[in-house]
Structures are given as structure tokens and as C-alpha cells.
Chains A and B, each alone.
Chain A
Amino acid sequence: METVCVLGAGSTKYGKLNDSISDIAVQSSINAIENACIKPNEIEAGYISNVFGIADKQVHLGPVIMSNLGIPDKPSLSIESACGSGSVSLREAFANVAAGFYNAVLVTGVEKVTQTGTEWTTTYFSYCSDFFYEGQAGASFPGLFASMARAYLNEYDATEEDFAAVAVKNHNNGLLNPKAHLRKKITIEDVMESPIVASPLKLYDCCPFSDGASSVILCNEKFAKSHTKDYVKIIGSGRGGSPAALQGRDHMTTIPSTKLAAQAAYKMAGISPTDIDFAEVHDCFTIAEIVDSEDLGFFDKGKAADAVRNQQTELRGSIPINPSGGLKSKGHPIGATGVGQAVEVFDQLTGNAGERTIKNAKIGLTHNFGATGASCAVHIFQNV
């Protein structure tokens, strides 16, 4: 198996963007290509992740992106795995470079939904659930995670204020990220007083609907070494699945696919959770970050709320979580999110994360899932 490296990374700003879905996808692709110091014709394939291209009148995005990059003859494909599309796409690109099919590939994730309005976006997102049992019965995505939050509050020593503290922490990090969607300092009181969306989750427990695109260039180590440029190795890649509907799971406060993906990634990397210096995790809702950080093995089951209270997950804590601001503050353009996490880890490990750079970090982890964790991918990166 070839060692797979990240040679370059780039993103658009996340938020409400006016350009078309293909324009923002091309822009972030160019950012990554320039950052990698390569020419487009060195790219041998494109892996494009997107969910709701149809809402901006463009599906089959791959050939449009490749044509705009002047490489229309290079193959590409689109991958949809709901909110986990980006990391699933990263994984497929990783597998193909690792297998030796390609020397260098482009991975671009993109989403453009804000033009549809909150009600329709809520509806589109509900199509990512097991619709017969969930979306059809009026379960919104905030509602599905709210059900997990209700079960967590019932089972463990946690309060709604603890959930709010996750949002406050991620907004503090996002303030240091020029590309974040919600760059606004908030307090626990702001979260607690924000309107209820799906009890017990309030508006500020929820990530925003965002537009945006993120890209990375993956290559084998020979290719990376032939370019005089900092690169980062992917030392672990794991995937897992969970029952599509929450009702099919034995426990409501854990996500089976996260555990499976993490175990596989840790095994490939030959490390354990204590070796991770920082992580970008899937905090679509505050409860998700609590559950993720336990499922990834950073804290014992039921102890994550306590860790948040003790500031362990803050930027200068023992295990910083979501230094980028996470989905909550950086934003959640769902097809781009998983790739955007890799962009943050690359920037961190190459010392280019500005004020939010975590000193002496050597190993970073990304965790991204689709829907309520029905599909999940975890990647582990190490600096060189």
C-alpha cells in the first residue's frame, strides 16, 4: 500500500455565498492546487462530494469542475453520503491512491443551499434520514439529535447548560477563523435564551445551513517528495455504518459507526485515542460533539459533559476539539464539511492556522458522519 499524503488544501469562506455551486467548487479547487504548488494537469482524478446540487441546478459536478480546471479528459465522480459526503469522498480518494491507481487526485466537497430558505432546507435535510420512519413522521434533523440529547440528559450527569458550553467554546474558536460562517462570541445565557427548535435543542445548539467548498490534493509520498512543499501523511482511515433509523439502535446515546470507524483508523495508524493531539469532530448539534468525543475514546461514556465543564476541549485544553470552530461556528456546507475538516488539520499540522494554531501538535483526527451517524469516516493525520 502506498503512503497517502495531503500536499495542499484550500477552502472558500463558509456562509451565505452568492456565487453558483460550480463557481465555489472551482474556486476552492484552485486554492488547493495553488497551495500544493502543482499544475492542474498533474491531477489524475477528481473526487467530488455534494448532496443537494439539484437545489442549485447542477448535478454531475465532476466534469464541470475538471473542465474549468483545463483537464476535461481526467475522470471524476460525485459521492453523496449526506453530511458525511466529504469524508467518505476523502476515503475513496485515499483508497485509490493507496492502491496505486493514481499518483495525485483532487478531492473537492461543495454545498449551496442557503438560497432555498430554512423551511425547504429543513425538508431537504430530512430526506437524509430513514424517511419512512423518520422524515415522513415529521422528524427534522434537529429533532433526531434532540431525541439523542433527551436520552443523554436522562441517562448521564449532564445539563442543557453543558450542551450550551460546547456552542460557546466552538464560537470562541470560530472567532479566530477568518473563513468561519458564524464569527460571533456567545454566552451560555445566549444559547439558553435562544428559541427552541426541537426540545431540548435550541437555535444556538444547532449548526447553521451554510454554503461553501473545501478541497485537498492527495498524493503518494514519492509525488509529495518530488514537490518541495510541506505535506502531511494520512496514517489512519476507517469507516463504519449504523442502522439508518435511530429505532434500530440498542442505545440512543452512542453512534455505532463512529466507534467502528475510529477503531479501524486507530488500528491502521497503530495508535490509541491518547495519542491524538486535537480533533475536528462532527458537531452538527452540541449533543453530537458530546457523544462523538466519547465514541472516539477521548472520554469515558457519560463523562464528556464533565470534560467540557473542565475546559479540557478548549483550544488550550488537554484535547482541543474543533479548533476551526466546528460545524457549529465554522459552518456546515454538508458536502464540503468532511473535506473542510481535513483542510483544518492540514493547516494546523503545517503551522498555518494563524491565531488558533495548536502548538507542537503532531497528530490530528477528523470525524465526520452522514445523517444521525448512519455512515461515518474517521481519518488520522501526522506531520512529517
Chain B
Amino acid sequence: MYELSAKQEFIDAIKSGKILAKQCMKCHDRNLATVYFCRKCGNNKFENVIIDGDGHVETFTIITVPPTGFEKYVPYAWVIMKLNNSDLRISGFMSNISKPEDIPIGTKTRIIGFDERGILIQQEPHTSTN
């Protein structure tokens, strides 16, 4: 059996900088907690795993023509980051980014919260971009 939705639990973990993942009890593949069946083996028995929300930029864009509601944040970045110590990726919003040099691919990043802008990602302090 599984609960109706793990989304709130997932969001709560994001707010504390963590990723709630489900590890398949059969094949041990990890999925984000918002998935209910294992994509590798189809099993629906999981155990919860908490993963640190730190990783690096896999790719990104800087948006200057936004959807409604995001006008006041322009320019901002939308980032896909690869999590450390996991095959999982997670994407989200990063504020105050105006040029590609600000967050080159590989820049260390972490999950810092969740609000009306969805999952929030920030550059790790003291990251050298040189």
C-alpha cells in the first residue's frame, strides 16, 4: 500500500534542503518520492531514503521572457542539477542570475527551499568559477 500522495512530504524535505527519495526494495533503484512504481522493475514496495540536496549544475538557462507570475524575478535561472552520491537529478529555480558566466556547468549548488517559485536552488557559497 502507499499513501495517497507523497508530494507534501517531498516538499517538506525540500524545505529543509533534503531530497526525499524512494529506494526500491527489490532492485534498489532510487526514484524521487513523487514516483509510485519503480521504473526499472515495476515494483511498488519502497523504503524512504533522505538524500542531501547538494550537487552541481548539469545544465541551465537564464530566462528573460517569463511565464505569468515570474515577471518580477527576471532575469533568473532554471537549473537542472545532478545530486552528489546519487544518479538522481533535480531541477528548480535560481534567483539573481543574469549571465551564463554566473553559473557555468559544473558549478556546485544545493537545494535551499520551496515556495511559489517551486523548488529553489542556490549556488554553494565560496564556489570558485575560475
Pairing of A with B: yes
Binding site for B on A (CB under 8 A): 118-120, 122-123, 126, 132-140, 142-144, 146-151, 154, 195-201, 245-248, 252
Bound-complex Cα distance A150 to B61 (A):
7
Bound-complex Cα distance A134 to B64 (A):
16
19 A-B residue contacts at CB 8 Å? Answer: A132-B34, A133-B90, A134-B91, A138-B63, A138-B118, A139-B61, A140-B65, A142-B61, A143-B63, A147-B80, A151-B58, A151-B105, A196-B62, A197-B63, A197-B64, A198-B63, A198-B65, A200-B100, A247-B88
* CB–CB B64/A138 < 8 A: no
* CB–CB A195/B64 < 8 A: yes
* CB–CB A122/B66 < 8 A: yes
Bound-complex Cα distance A120 to B58 (A):
29
Q: Of A136, A149, A154, A200, which is in contact with the most chain B CB atoms at under 10 Å from its CB?
A: A136
Chain B residues near A119 (CB, 8 Å)?
A: 67-68
Bound-complex Cα distance A138 to B93 (A):
7
Binding site for A on B (CB under 8 A): 7, 34, 58-70, 73, 76, 78, 80, 88-93, 100, 105, 117-119
Bound-complex Cα distance A84 to B63 (A):
24
Chain B residues near A118 (CB, 8 Å)?
A: 65
Chain B residues near A143 (CB, 8 Å)?
A: 61, 63, 78
* CB–CB A132/B118 < 8 A: yes
* CB–CB B90/A122 < 8 A: no
Instruction: Name the prevailing secondary structure of the A interface residues.
Output: helix
Chain B residues near A146 (CB, 8 Å)?
A: 61, 63
Chain A residues near B90 (CB, 8 Å)?
A: 133, 247
Task: Knowing A135-B67, A252-B58 are in contact, say whether A246-B91 is a contact too (CB < 8 A).
Answer: yes
User: Smallest CB–CB gap between A155 and chain B, Å?
Assistant: 9
Bound-complex Cα distance A119 to B7 (A):
29
Bound-complex Cα distance A52 to B67 (A):
16
Task: Knowing A120-B68, A143-B61 are in contact, say whether A137-B80 is a contact too (CB < 8 A).
Answer: no
User: Smallest CB–CB gap between B104 and chain A, Å?
Assistant: 9
Q: Which residue of A lies closest to B105 (CB)?
A: A154
Q: Which residue of A lies closest to B95 (CB)?
A: A138
* CB–CB B80/A252 < 8 A: yes
Instruction: Kindly list 4 other residue pairs between chains A and B, CB separation below 8 angstroms, not including A132-B7, A150-B60, A150-B105.
Output: A122-B67, A136-B117, A142-B63, A246-B91
Chain B residues near A198 (CB, 8 Å)?
A: 61-65
Q: Which residue of B lies closest to A151 (CB)?
A: B59
Ordered nearest first, which 4 A-B pairs have the shortest CB separation? A137-B118, A146-B61, A151-B59, A136-B118
* CB–CB A123/B80 < 8 A: no
* CB–CB A133/B91 < 8 A: yes
* CB–CB B76/A147 < 8 A: no
* CB–CB B91/A137 < 8 A: yes
Chain A residues near B61 (CB, 8 Å)?
A: 139, 142-144, 146-147, 149-150, 198-201
Chain B residues near A245 (CB, 8 Å)?
A: 91
Chain B residues near A139 (CB, 8 Å)?
A: 61, 63, 78, 91
Q: Which residue of B lies closest to A252 (CB)?
A: B59
* CB–CB B60/A133 < 8 A: no
Q: Of A120, A199, A252, which is in contact with the most chain B CB atoms at under 10 Å from its CB?
A: A199
* CB–CB A248/B105 < 8 A: no
Chain B residues near A246 (CB, 8 Å)?
A: 80, 91
> Which one, A133, A195, A200, A248, contacts B119 given CB within 8 A?
A133
Q: Which residue of B lies closest to A149 (CB)?
A: B61
Q: Of B58, B61, B69, which is in contact with the most chain A CB atoms at under 10 Å from its CB?
A: B61
Chain A residues near B69 (CB, 8 Å)?
A: 123
User: Smallest CB–CB gap between A353 and chain B, Å?
Assistant: 34
Chain B residues near A247 (CB, 8 Å)?
A: 80, 88-91
User: Smallest CB–CB gap between A152 and chain B, Å?
Assistant: 9
Chain B residues near A132 (CB, 8 Å)?
A: 7, 34, 118
* CB–CB B7/A140 < 8 A: no
User: Smallest CB–CB gap between B112 and chain A, Å?
Assistant: 13
Bound-complex Cα distance A246 to B100 (A):
20
User: Smallest CB–CB gap between B119 and chain A, Å?
Assistant: 6
> Which one, A126, A133, A140, A150, contacts B59 given CB within 8 A?
A150
User: Smallest CB–CB gap between A212 and chain B, Å?
Assistant: 22
Bound-complex Cα distance A200 to B117 (A):
22
User: Smallest CB–CB gap between B106 and chain A, Å?
Assistant: 9
Chain B residues near A140 (CB, 8 Å)?
A: 63, 65-67
Bound-complex Cα distance A143 to B67 (A):
10
Task: Knowing A147-B59, A246-B80 are in contact, say whether A137-B93 is a contact too (CB < 8 A).
Answer: yes
